[in-house]
A = this chain, B = another copy of it.
Amino acid sequence: MTREKITLFDTTLRDGQQTPGIDFSVEDKISIAAMLDDFGLDYIEGGYPGANPTDTAFFTKKRTHRARFTAFGMTKRAGISASNDPGLNALIQSNSDAICLVAKSWDYHVKVALGCTNEENLDAIHDSVKAVVEAGKEALVDCEHFFDGYKANAAYAVACAKTAYEAGARWVVLCDTNGGTQPPEIRAIVSALIEAGVPGSALGIHAHNDTGQAVANSLAAVEAGVRQIQGTLNGIGERCGNADLTTIIPTLVLKDTYADRFETTIDREKLVELTRLSHAFDELLNRSPNHQAPYVGASAFATKAGIHASALLKDPKTYEHVEPGSVGNFRKVMVSDQGGKANFINELKRRGISVAKDDPKLDRLIEIVKEREATGYAYEGADGSFELLAHRTLGTVPEFFAVESFRVMVERRFDSNGNLKTVSEAVVKMVIDGQTVMSVAEGDGPVNALDIALRKDLGKFQSEIDDLELADFKVRILNGGTSAITRVLIESTDATGARWWTVGVSENIIDASFQALMDAIVYKLMKNRQLAGQIAAE
């Protein structure tokens, strides 16, 4: 059976630009367009040349090799001809392959926002599309508020879509601009429009996520006959965002409901780049990826349930809707107090620690983890501390050094120039090989001072931890209130590129930080010895 093509239209750089908190520079747009183009989308909408300096600069050149580089803009104003409309001419002059014209299709908006007659608006659609096509470019028309417009005045909304189609628009895109339309309405309205004479092969869908239905509405439109989907990377966009292409694409490619009937330019081979693309985009935006994102999230194939975890290990297909590798993601089975014994053994194995199922030390380890997690430790997010605890319980980890005492002081006072100043200082007293060593350091804050003091002079181990770096630090207050327990998580890294998280819990934040810092250092020393083969896997 031949499969029909679903065309993918990316509006990350145009509608995505409306996301609160996101502001692309020209350089950002160039990098993102290259990422999208490499991935293989059909259309990349770059922005609105003429509307702002960034977009005008971005459209001084064609920025894609494969995808159709698309400029967004408005249809001509009523009362002047297409050739005399400066906005429309700027669009036509821009270095784009295609032009996506936004047109009103809700009569109320024609009256209130444009202040012209319904007929004048139809003429503006017709003449603008003609002008684009005559200039040798492909024309698309975004019918703004199509679904709300249809509910208010069906005949007029249909007339707008038909006018665009008959004037030569390659695609007539039905926009749920306010994002409130539900899938059954999408199916019914799209079917009615096709019935009225605009073929599905010329129709697109542009959905927003205001009711959490952007993906569902896009696919409901496809079900009803639409053959182009507009969306954005990671679902960015105005208000609650646009339809998320990182969700829609794998569903189209991997789910029989769609894959049996449709194909896209992204095939199974290309799809394995999806997770990397999604994370690279978040990197560029300098924001942490959504762990719970479908397909590409760090938790999308993570399991912490005991029963599920053991079944998952027996046969992954029973608990995974798709193979994680198909989208370039990974399976993750997490340690936690819900984990069963099989899960535990497997987690240890992944870390190179093998232990017999009936070893009493294993029961002891499970018991310690449960006890500690009950008091606030979270080993699922602290693999370094977990590994250290496992090695300590199942085998032996040398006591490399002991901290006899420490003192941390924070002082806010006026300095000699009369300026208010806050100083943090830490003093650490430790014993290394029978030798007592004292270190003192100042830092940005008390934890930073303690970190520096702890790693300042580790005697014969000092050269081993020179490349140790604190990469991230998280604090969570458990149970709230005045008698709060504090959990500190620290991420460390070193010259080998390894990264590990360690945890500390105490009613005293400095003490919790101290535990996590100590684990971070001892983990590093243990890891060095494992690499050197001095500690055999227990």
**A299 in contact with B422 (CB, 8 Å):** no
A18/B305 contact (C-beta < 8 A), A407-B410, A408-B409, A471-B481 known: yes
Contact surface of A with B, Cβ cutoff 8 Å: 17-21, 23, 25, 27-28, 51-54, 108-109, 112-113, 145, 177-180, 182-185, 209-213, 215-216, 219-220, 223, 235, 238-241, 244, 247-248, 250-251, 255, 257-258, 284, 286, 290-295, 297-308, 311, 314-315, 318-322, 332, 334, 336-338, 370, 373-374, 378, 380-381, 403-414, 422, 424, 444-448, 451, 469-484, 486, 506-511, 514
A444 to B512, CA, bound (A): 12
Q: In the complex, which residues of chain B have a beta carbon less than 8 angstroms from the beta carbon of A306? A: 51
**A178 in contact with B321 (CB, 8 Å):** yes
Q: In the complex, which residues of chain B have a beta carbon less than 8 angstroms from the beta carbon of A424? A: 508, 510
Q: How far is the CB of A291 from chain B (nearest CB, A)?
A: 7
A51 to B250, CA, bound (A): 36
A300/B422 contact (C-beta < 8 A), A212-B294, A477-B473 known: no
A473/B478 contact (C-beta < 8 A), A318-B108, A507-B444 known: no
Q: Which of B250, B378, B444 has a CB less than 8 Å from the CB of A483?
A: B444
A182/B251 contact (C-beta < 8 A), A212-B215, A484-B473 known: yes
**A318 in contact with B182 (CB, 8 Å):** no
Q: In the complex, which residues of chain B have a beta carbon less than 8 angstroms from the beta carbon of A476? A: 286, 475
**A25 in contact with B405 (CB, 8 Å):** no
A479/B25 contact (C-beta < 8 A), A182-B255, A408-B409 known: yes
Q: Could you list 26 A-B pairs, sorted by A, with CB under 8 Å? A: A20-B299, A20-B304, A20-B380, A21-B380, A109-B318, A180-B255, A185-B257, A212-B216, A212-B247, A212-B248, A212-B251, A238-B304, A239-B300, A405-B413, A408-B409, A412-B511, A422-B508, A444-B483, A446-B446, A447-B509, A471-B481, A473-B480, A475-B476, A475-B477, A475-B486, A475-B509
Look across to chain B and name the residue whose beta carbon is closest to the beta carbon of A306.
B51
Q: How far is the CB of A105 from chain B (nearest CB, A)?
A: 13
Q: How far is the CB of A287 from chain B (nearest CB, A)?
A: 9
Q: In the complex, which residues of chain B have a beta carbon less than 8 angstroms from the beta carbon of A27? A: 479
Look across to chain B and name the residue whose beta carbon is closest to the beta carbon of A243.
B212
**B445 in contact with A321 (CB, 8 Å):** no
A284 to B478, CA, bound (A): 9
Q: In the complex, which residues of chain B have a beta carbon less than 8 angstroms from the beta carbon of A304? A: 18, 20, 238
A177 to B305, CA, bound (A): 13
Please name the 3 residue pairs, one residue from A and one from B, whose CB atoms are nearest each other, closest first.
Answer: A180-B321, A216-B216, A445-B508
A292 to B301, CA, bound (A): 23
**A240 in contact with B299 (CB, 8 Å):** yes
Look across to chain B and name the residue whose beta carbon is closest to the beta carbon of A55.
B338
* Residue of A20, A183, A215 with most partner-chain B CB within 10 A: A20
**B408 in contact with A410 (CB, 8 Å):** yes
**A112 in contact with B183 (CB, 8 Å):** no
Look across to chain B and name the residue whose beta carbon is closest to the beta carbon of A54.
B374
Q: A178-B320, A182-B257 are in contact. List 18 more A-B contacts (CB 8 A).
A: A18-B338, A20-B304, A21-B378, A108-B318, A109-B318, A113-B307, A178-B321, A211-B255, A212-B294, A239-B299, A239-B303, A445-B506, A445-B507, A448-B482, A470-B481, A471-B481, A475-B476, A475-B509
**A511 in contact with B184 (CB, 8 Å):** no
Q: In the complex, which residues of chain B have a beta carbon less than 8 angstroms from the beta carbon of A51? A: 306, 338
**A319 in contact with B480 (CB, 8 Å):** no
A477 to B407, CA, bound (A): 23
Q: In the complex, which residues of chain B have a beta carbon less than 8 angstroms from the beta carbon of A112? A: 311, 314-315, 318
A514 to B286, CA, bound (A): 22
**B448 in contact with A469 (CB, 8 Å):** no
Look across to chain B and name the residue whose beta carbon is closest to the beta carbon of A27.
B479
**B257 in contact with A211 (CB, 8 Å):** no
Q: Which of B210, B219, B319 has a CB less than 8 Å from the CB of A321?
A: B210
Q: In the complex, which residues of chain B have a beta carbon less than 8 angstroms from the beta carbon of A332? A: 20
Q: How far is the CB of A232 from chain B (nearest CB, A)?
A: 11
A381 to B469, CA, bound (A): 33
**B209 in contact with A292 (CB, 8 Å):** yes
Look across to chain B and name the residue whose beta carbon is closest to the beta carbon of A299.
B20
